[in-house]
A and B are shown apart, each in its own frame.
Chain A
Amino acid sequence: GAGVSQSPSNKVTEKGKDVELRCDPISGHTALYWYRQRLGQGLEFLIYFQGNSAPDKSGLPSDRFSAERTGESVSTLTIQRTQQEDSAVYLCASRAQNQPQHFGDGTRLSIL
C-alpha cells in the first residue's frame, strides 16, 4: 500500500533562499510529525500535528521554520532565509491512533 510520500527527494538551494518541503501522509493517519536528521546523527523532533488540535511546535529551532497541515492531509514545512546549518534530511512520519509511526524517505536539503 501507499506509504508516506515526501517531495522533493533532494533539494539544493543557495543560502538565504526559502524552501518548501511537502509530506503526503498515509491516508487516514491523524498524526503527522516532522523531524530533522543531520548526517550521522539521530532524529531531532521539529513539529507534531494531531487532528484539529493546535500543533506542538516545541522542536522548531527558530522562527525561520514553520509548518502547516490542512485537516488530516498534506503538510508543508517551510524554511525561510536558509542557512548552511539547515542542511540535513527532513523526515516526515504519520501514524494512526495507537499505532507506530511510519516514515517517509525524507528530503535531503543542501544549502550552498
Chain B
Amino acid sequence: DAKTTQPPSMDCAEGRAANLPCNHSTISGNEYVYWYRQIHSQGPQYIIHGLKNNETNEMASLIITEDRKSSTLILPHATLRDTAVYYCIVRVNFGNEKLTFGTGTRLTIIP
C-alpha cells in the first residue's frame, strides 16, 4: 500500500467545516483513498472512500485532486463528537486484507 502523510494535529471551531488533508504522492492507479476515524476508547470507524471522483455521504465529503496525489476529507459542520484521530490510507479496493494505519491527524473540535 502507498504511504500517506497527514498533519499530526488540527483544531476546528464547532459548527465550522473541518478540512483534513492527506498526501499520497506514490498512489498507484488501482489504489483507492480511504478514511477512517477513531474516537477515544472506541474502535476505528469507516468514513468514506474514493478512487478519483469526489465522493459524498452522510458523514463527509472526499475531494481528490486530479493527479490523485492528495486528498481532503471535509466534515461540513463539525460537532464536538467529531473529535477523533482521522486516518487516511490508500489501498487496492477491498484487497490486501490487512488494514494498517499510520499516526493520523488528531482533530480537536473547539466549542
Contact = CB atoms under 8 A, between A and B. Distances in A.
Interface in B2-53: 34, 41-46, 49
A42 B102 contact: yes
Contact of A105 (B42, B46, B49, B103): B42
B103 A42 contact: yes
B43 A106 contact: yes
Interface in B33-77: 34, 41-46, 49
Contacts of B93: 98
Interface residues of B, number: 19
Contacts of B44: 43, 91, 93, 103
Nearest to B48: A100
Question: A interface, by DSSP: helix, strand, loop or mixed?
Answer: strand
A105 B93 CA distance: 24
Contacts of B49: 100
Interface string A3-45: 0100000000000000000000000000101010000001101
Given A33-B98, A48-B97, A93-B44, 14 more contacts: A35-B99, A42-B101, A43-B99, A43-B101, A45-B100, A56-B97, A56-B98, A93-B99, A98-B94, A100-B46, A101-B99, A102-B46, A103-B45, A106-B43
